[in-house]
Amino acid sequence: MKTFIKKTVLLLIGLTFISLANATVHTVTVNNFTFSPLSFTAIIGDTVQWIWGAGTHTTTSTTIPGGAAAWNSNINTSNTTFQYKVTVIGTYNYQCNFHVSMGMVGSFTVSSTSAVPVISKNANVFATVYPNPVTSILNIHLNNNPNNNVIRITDLRGRQLIKQLLINIDNNINVSTWRKGIYLFYIKNGEETMEGKFEVQ
């Protein structure tokens, strides 16, 4: 029993370190009358960091997901950085209160994970599929040569919805008209097959 508890604790600690290692800091430069980049994607656990470049500005949330914390911080010579950790999925819009009339606005979209989890125990992970959950465009980034890659997507009953050749390094599939729910994907590369699942919201 003690051995089991010890292994469980070590596993939880390891998962925590993995989660922290996967977190990303997204830097937004506040310079003149723009936020750069204007928009980007992040995942739960990431941090957004605004860094002063020039002028007197604010970063102020306008419309954010329910349950997320609002923010309002000066970005100037006295307050050169501000950090915000994302904990809720959805789209975050923000502005500079002083220069919003000049179009100084920005946004970022947060998903629960950057890539769809692989469900095949022995699959060679040769593609990144994101975001998950997805509302409109499912992206497929191939980590190797794009030749001879075929993706097939089915529902949980096994009914095939799509099967197509992936001819580029970066590909996308429009799922905006699909029913909400869980779907399975299979990407075949020669003799290797990568399997995973994603949720349409």
Residue (of 98, 92, 115) closest to 38 by Cα position: 92
Instruction: Give domain limits for the chain.
Output: 2-111, 127-200
Question: Residue 95: pLDDT band by 50, 70, 90 thresholds?
Answer: very high
CA dist., res. 132 & res. 198, Å (int): 6
User: What confidence tier does 102 reach under pLDDT thresholds 50, 70, 90?
Assistant: very high
In this prediction, residue 12 carries a pLDDT of 37
132, with CB counted inside 10 A (0-12, 13-18, 19+), is buried
Whether residue 78 contacts residue 94, with contact meaning beta carbons closer than 8 Å, is answered with: no
- Whether the per-residue pLDDT at 1 is higher than 60: the answer is no
2-111, superfamily in CATH? Cupredoxins -  blue copper proteins (2.60.40.420)
Q: Specify burial of residue 84 (Cβ count, 10 A radius: 0-12, 13-18, 19+).
A: buried
C-alpha of 171 from chain center: 16
For the question of whether the overall pTM of this predicted structure is more than 0.75, the answer is no
Determine the topology of domain 127-200 in CATH: Immunoglobulin-like (2.60.40)
Q: What is the distance between the alpha carbons of residues 157 and 44, in angstroms, rounded to a whole number?
A: 30
Determine the length of the chain.
201
pLDDT confidence tier of residue 18, bands split at 50, 70 and 90: very low
